[in-house]
Each structure stands twice: as structure tokens, then as C-alpha cells.
Amino acid sequence: MAAIEMKNIVKQYGDGFPAVNDISIDVADGEFLILVGPSGCGKSTLLRMIVGLEDITSGDMVIGGKKVNDLAPRDRNLAMVFQNYALYPHLTVYENIAFPLRLAGASDSEVDQKVRDASKTLELDEHLERKPGNLSGGQRQRVAMGRAIVRQAEAFLFDEPLSNLDAKLRGQMRTEISRLQKRLGITTVYVTHDQTEAMTLGDRVAVLKRGILQQLATPRELYENPANLFVAGFIGSPPMNFLPAEVKGNQVELPFGTVTIPEERAAKAQGKGLLMAGIRPEHFEDASVVDEDKVSDEATFNATVDVVEWLGNEAYAYIPFEAPPEVAKQLQQLERDLDGESLRTQLVISLDGASRISEGDEATIWVDARKIHLFDPATGENLTMDAERAGTVPGGNAMAKAEEVGREQDDVQPGSDTATT
């Protein structure tokens, strides 16, 4: 096992465009780090530079205290699990797992011991004599993981290993990978575009956008204390609501009414003009089912509910609103950055299953004013972020830097060899 240090890593392709742009991340020995972001953010490129499949343009990659920039992949002692399993179809499960050991010249007894230990860990004992073509997707991914385990590598690298599986199997495999990593205690870097995987698996999560690190923190801190609009919109399902807002004193004027917020939050946004308020769906509620000691006129507003989706234990209510052009434009840009995640000008509210709000009702809605974030619509910066709890936030404005890179990318002529997967 070993720590991984990425120091000011840059990857530029032939046209000079930075697929990975000055990223520094330290992965502790035994830590489970997630690299997450939409397509083209540079997460897989960064992973491939760790293992040595991509050359580093500048910066240093240090594994176990040793600089490995010029080492071939076979000399880095890392085990990688790919999205497409990469199994040999003509070999049995046993021989697929044994392959790296035989390549290293291990004795038959050592091969047998390590294969059977890995097989037991991954519950593959009854499948050892089968071929990959006769296995389910989850079983094949476990075989690929088994091949990584027997190598006794210094770190595991996962490149979207669950993206080819159906939703139910992905959930099962997430649990298996989490248990396995904790049992082995091995340093792990895991790439995914699925924020659910990121939130459930990682000790820490690095959110990337257009090759730039936006925020590095625990899943809870990303959710509760996002550094900017991009992180706030990417983390959470349904995504955070973004509404036009203006702060006057310790009150925030929203499209549906005025809400009083804590003075320390209001103070950070004074004199900023038109802002964007970010409020997660679960921080609203039908006022009729909220404890009386929480409800006050300063934390409620009335609105007409357009649509209600009842799911049994909860419901989602949708309330449309009008947004000024500058806010609507920022939401449209954010939708593009989030791979088309819908951020239409409507409020999404998560309601308790006991709520009796119906479509067309004029409802009284309670909002938890302590959880309202205020963002600068021009830069995307979270003005109310708690800096002490935010984890690592790059210097300058990471979201604005990514927007500048995006504009440069738009200027790249078709046919260039830029690749930012």
C-alpha cells in the first residue's frame, strides 16, 4: 500500500488544450478517493496518468514517496479495473485471476493459494472453472477485481467499473467494492460520472470540471457546503434549486416571498445586488406537517403547486417561477456543464408522505432558512460557504477558470486531437 501525491499535474494534447489543468491532490495511504465530474472533465485522463497510460505534460506523480513520471505502467505496481472488464474469453475464471501471477513467474502453489483466497473474498468459488462468457456482468466485474487483488499492488485504480451494469446490480456492486476496500485497507482511486457512487463510496471526493479541480472534500461537506454553483448542482438528486434572490438586511427576497436568514449568512452577501439562492428540495416542507416550534411567518411563503408526484414515503411538488435574464442564462450554462441535468425555472420541493398538498393547491411552504446558500451569478462563487468546513477549494475562482477553459475549447477547430475523457 502507498500514498499517491499529484503535484500540479497538467496534461496537454497536440493543440495545447489542457485536458487536466494544474491539479494537486494527496491521497493518503489506505484512503478511498473518488474522481467525479461530467463527461470531458479530465477524470479518466488523470487516472491514466497515475497508472502510466498517459504521459504527464508537467507536474509530478509520486507514489509511495517515489516520483514515477518516467516509469512504465508495469513498474508502478498498480492494479487497474476497467469499465469493460478486460477478461480473456478463452480462459477460465481461475486462469483469468491467475494471469498476472503467472506472468510474474509465481510458483503453482503460490498461484493456487492467492487465486483461492481472492475467490473466497469475492464469492467466486463455484465459478472458477467457468468462462467469462457464461457469467453475469457483476460476476465478470468481480473476476476483474480478483485479478487486481492477487497482484498485491500498492493501490487500486477503478475506471467507471459499474457503468455497464443495470441499476440494481450497480447498487450491489457498490456495497461489495466498499466492503472489499475497507477489508483490504488499500489505497484506491475511483473514477465515476455517477454522483451516487461518489457520495456512497468515497472517503473524499474530488469534483472536476473541464480539467480543473472545483472542490475536494468529504461527501457530506460537498453536499452541505458546496464551493460554487457547479458543485452545488452536480451533487444531489434531485439537484439543488436555484432562484433569483436579493439580500436586504437579514432577509432574502425570493420569487415567492421574503425569508429571514441567519445574520452571519446575510452579512456575507450584503451589497452584492442580484444573487442566486440555492436551496435543496428536502429543505422545504408542507408547513402543515412541520413541528409548530419550527414554523414562523419569517420562514414560510404561499405558492400555487403545479404538479405533485407522490411516491409513498415522500412526494415531490413542482412550483414554476419567473427568473430574470441574467439568472436564466446562468442556469442554461449550468445545465450544459452538468451534461443536460434539468435546472428549469421551477422549484422542486420534497414533501413528507403525510402531506395532503395536491396539484393546483395554494400551499403554505416552510423553508429551513439556515440551509439557504447564496451564489454570485457572475462567478458562481458560494458567498455563504463555511471556509473551515469546505475541504480543499483551489485558489482563485475554480468555476470561472473552468468557464474560461470552456470558451477556449469552443475555439478548437474540428479534427483536433484534444481528448478530455
Span 38-91, pLDDT tens digits: 988 999 999 999 999 999 999 999 999 999 999 999 899 899 888 777 889 999
Report the pLDDT value the prediction gives residue 72, as an integer from 0 to 100.
93
pLDDT above 80: residue 389: no
Q: At what angle do helices 93-103 and 137-149 cross, to 10 degrees?
A: 20
pLDDT above 90: residue 283: yes
Question: What residue segments make up the domains of the chain, in order of their start?
Answer: 4-221, 238-384
Rounded (10°) CA dihedral 310, 315, 316, 319: 90
Look at domain 4-221 and name its CATH class: alpha beta
Instruction: Give the number of other Cβ atoms within 10 Å of residue 34's Cβ.
Output: 26
CA distance 345 to 5: 42
Mean pLDDT value across residues 283-295: 84
Can you name the residues that pair with 346 across neighbouring β-strands? 320
**CA atoms lying within 13 Å on the CB side of residue 282:** 7
The model's confidence at residue 297, banded by pLDDT at 50, 70 and 90, is low
pLDDT above 70: residue 412: no
Phi, psi of 327, rounded to the nearest 5 degrees: -75, -45
Report the pLDDT value the prediction gives residue 418, as an integer from 0 to 100.
37
Mean pLDDT value across residues 196-223: 94
The grid coordinates listed for 92 are 477460465
Span 228-263, pLDDT tens digits: 999 999 998 888 999 999 999 889 999 988 888 888
Report the pLDDT value the prediction gives residue 9, as an integer from 0 to 100.
97
pLDDT above 70: residue 421: no
For residue 228, what is the DSSP state? B
Range in 80-84, 109-113, 193-197, 411-415 the model is least confident about: 411-415
The model's confidence at residue 184, banded by pLDDT at 50, 70 and 90, is confident
Q: Which residue, chain included where needed, has cell 456543464?
A: 337
Residues 6+ apart with CB under 8 A from 199: 205, 219, 222, 223, 235
Report the pLDDT value the prediction gives residue 328, as an integer from 0 to 100.
80
Which residue, among 391, 37, 86, has the nearest Cα to 197 in the 3D structure? 37
**CA atoms lying within 13 Å on the CB side of residue 372:** 32
The model's confidence at residue 403, banded by pLDDT at 50, 70 and 90, is low
Name the residue with higher pLDDT: 22 or 323: 22
Report the pLDDT value the prediction gives residue 194, as an integer from 0 to 100.
87
Report the pLDDT value the prediction gives residue 142, as an integer from 0 to 100.
87
On whether the CB atoms of residues 7 and 411 are closer than 8 A, the answer is no
The SS3 of residue 136 is coil
CA distances from 181 to 191, 202, 395 (A): 15, 10, 32
Span 147-169, pLDDT tens digits: 888 888 899 999 988 887 777 87
- Cβ-defined contacts of 114-119 (< 8 Å, 24+): 114/150, 115/146, 115/150, 117/150, 118/146, 118/149, 118/150, 119/93, 119/94, 119/146
Residues 6+ apart with CB under 8 A from 372: 252, 259, 261, 265, 277, 278, 279, 283, 384
pLDDT above 70: residue 383: yes
Name the residue with higher pLDDT: 256 or 221: 221
Q: Which residue, chain included where needed, has cell 454553483?
A: 229
Report the pLDDT value the prediction gives residue 406, as an integer from 0 to 100.
64
Report the pLDDT value the prediction gives residue 407, as an integer from 0 to 100.
60
Report the pLDDT value the prediction gives residue 342, as an integer from 0 to 100.
61
Report the pLDDT value the prediction gives residue 319, as an integer from 0 to 100.
93
Pairing mode, strands 32-36 and 187-192: parallel
Report the pLDDT value the prediction gives residue 247, as an integer from 0 to 100.
92
The model's confidence at residue 419, banded by pLDDT at 50, 70 and 90, is very low
